[in-house]
Amino acid sequence: MARPRSYDHDALRAATIRVARRLLEEGGPPALTARALARAVGATPGTVYAVFGNLNAVLLEVNRETFLELAAVIDAVPDGPAADWLDRLADAYVAFMLERRDVWRGLFEGPRETESFPPWYTELIDRLIGRIAAPLAELGAGPRARDLAEQLFVSVHGVVALAAIGRLDMVTARPAQALAREAVETTVRAIKAGPA
Amino acid sequence: MARPRSYDHDALRAATIRVARRLLEEGGPPALTARALARAVGATPGTVYAVFGNLNAVLLEVNRETFLELAAVIDAVPDGPAADWLDRLADAYVAFMLERRDVWRGLFEGPRETESFPPWYTELIDRLIGRIAAPLAELGAGPRARDLAEQLFVSVHGVVALAAIGRLDMVTARPAQALAREAVETTVRAIKAGPA
DNA sequence: GAACTATTTTGAACAGCGTTCAGGAACCGA
DNA sequence: TCGGTTCCTGAACGCTGTTCAAAATAGTTC
């Protein structure tokens, strides 16, 4: 009753996301084009659009995978004495993001402000911040742990944001990892200074 | 001996920069196109290219003006007790950037990593960090004042970076200004905790 | 087997982008 | 009036995301 699909759409979807990621890694956001995607998966732009609706949806899927990987990496960071634990978290986060600069840029650059974000996006960030709050609480941050974790996350985000576009050296001579660790140290010292 | 210029190139240059800024404010980076610029200044794309070489140069000039304005705003922040002084600096910075979200995005998004930055760019950032280091030194940061100023700047950058693309609320319920002030407070408290 | 229907896939087309550059335009000096 | 010289225009190139009429391919019915 109908022309049968010539593609396994699930497989095509997965392949497209895989290729999208490779394109991003190799050429940054400008390399992620509908035609390049289609060519690489052996289909045509129209088919990609039939599967994803638009290019942004492809990027969103890459972001999902990236975030899931990040979550796994963060979860794999062994806990320990709170200060060391935080350092390891910071190191892992910075290293992860800088190894994927261009994918990172896809995560944080550009999209419309009015766009609403899918639940997994928010949930993963929430989880990440929870992982930061744990050692902070251990250090005696008490009820402020969550707030401080948010603050620390944003600070490290600042480091990575500048490093990912190659502009951290305009602000400081220190490398990203050092700055992230110092942000951790400052937070820890502020906690040790006692309750507000 | 030659066809006379039909444009005052200095005036055309200035007008182009002015229009570029308006386009950015009204429609963000995507609105800054060669044809729109040319149309708005009553010239043709070719002429714009004759004056600026390429579109990025126009963006760079807008950035220069924005940074100069920022420098003026920061210089105008009255000093006072160090903690209040820092709060005012943070407020001024955050307010300035958020009032110019789209111009801000032009400042920090996208350009090639290999690009070298003009001296005024680095100099202005240096000046900005100097302004932050002053009250920190007053608070007893000693020789660490500069390092802490860089760190604080990067932290506040993280706040603004997320706020400018409308994603700060994915991390925290607090507004940008509050987070910036808390970054200040954390830094101050870390200093008060004594030398490292 | 032919016709019809339903679905999927294609790829040309559209409007726009940054950028280039052949050639028309406009002046001066001879 | 005729080069010479410079300036400016705007068509053109190759690219972009996206759309959609048409082609392809199947099952079903006559």
- Percent of chain B exceeding pLDDT 90 equals 75
Task: Return the structure tokens found at A103.
Answer: 């994918």
State whether residue A147 is helix, strand or coil. Answer: helix
pLDDT of residue B104: 82
Which nucleotide is closest, CA of B4 to its C1'?
C27
The beta-carbon neighbor of B170 closest among A117, A159, A185 is A117
Determine, for residues A179 and B111 on separate chains, whether the beta-carbon distance falls below 8 Å: no
For residue A110, give the nearest of A163, A72, A60, A145 by alpha carbon.
A60
For chain A, report the end-to-end CA distance as a whole number of angstroms. 72
Whether B109 has a pLDDT exceeding 90, the answer reads: no
The pLDDT score that the predictor gives to residue B196 is: 58
pLDDT in tens, A36-59: 999 999 999 999 999 999 999 999
Q: What is the pLDDT of residue A11?
A: 96
Model pLDDT, residue A115: 58
Is any atom of nucleic acid chain D found less than 7 Å from the CB of residue A56? yes
- pLDDT, position A2: 76
Nearest-CA distance B153 → chain A (Å): 8
Q: Could you give the CA distance from residue B112 to residue A164 in angstroms, rounded to a whole number?
A: 11
> Does residue A56 lie within 7 Å of nucleic acid chain C, judged by its CB?
no
Q: Do A182 and B151 touch (CB under 8 A)?
A: yes
Region A93-114: mean pLDDT is 80
pLDDT tens digits along A4-13? 888 899 999 9
pLDDT tens digit sequence for B42-91 = 999 999 999 999 999 999 999 889 989 999 999 999 999 999 999 999 99
Q: How far apart are the two ends of chain B, measured CA to CA in Å? A: 71
Instruction: Report the pLDDT value the prediction gives residue A108, as an integer from 0 to 100.
Output: 79
Distances (CA, A) of B152 to A104, B131, B148, B162: 23, 12, 6, 16
In the prediction, which pLDDT does A35 show?
98
- Tens of pLDDT, residue by residue over B132-169, are 999 999 999 999 999 999 999 999 999 999 999 889 99
Q: Does B112 score more than 60 pLDDT?
A: no
Q: What is the overall mean pLDDT for chain A? A: 92
Rounded to 5 degrees, what angle do the CA atoms B118, B27, A20 make? 75
* A113 touches B: beta carbon within 8 Å: yes
**Is the CB of A24 less than 7 A from some atom of nucleic acid strand D?**
no
Higher per-residue confidence, A90 vs B2: A90
Find tokens 């700047």 and name the residue. Answer: B153
Q: How far apart are CA B38 and CA B44, in angstroms?
A: 5
A167, B189 contact by CB (below 8 A): no
Domains and CATH numbers, chain A: 7-53 (1.10.10), 62-193 (1.10.357.10)
Q: Which residues of A spanning 96-125 put their CB closer than 7 angstroms to strand D?
A: none
The predicted-structure confidence for B1-36, as pLDDT tens digits, reads as follows: 677 788 899 999 999 999 999 999 999 889 999 999
- The answer to whether the predicted template modeling score (pTM) of the entire model surpasses 0.85 is yes
pLDDT at A111 over 60: no
Nearest chain B CA: its distance from A50 CA (Å):
26
For B165, nearest residue in chain A (alpha carbons): A113
Asked whether the beta carbons of B18 and B95 are under 8 A apart, the reply is no
Element containing residue A172 per DSSP (H, E): none
Ramachandran sector of residue B53 (left: φ over 0; alpha: ψ -120 to 50; beta: rest): left
Question: How far apart are the C-alpha atoms of A25 and B156, rounded to whole Å?
Answer: 28
Q: Within 7 Å: CB of A43 and strand C? A: yes
Mean pLDDT of B100-107: 82
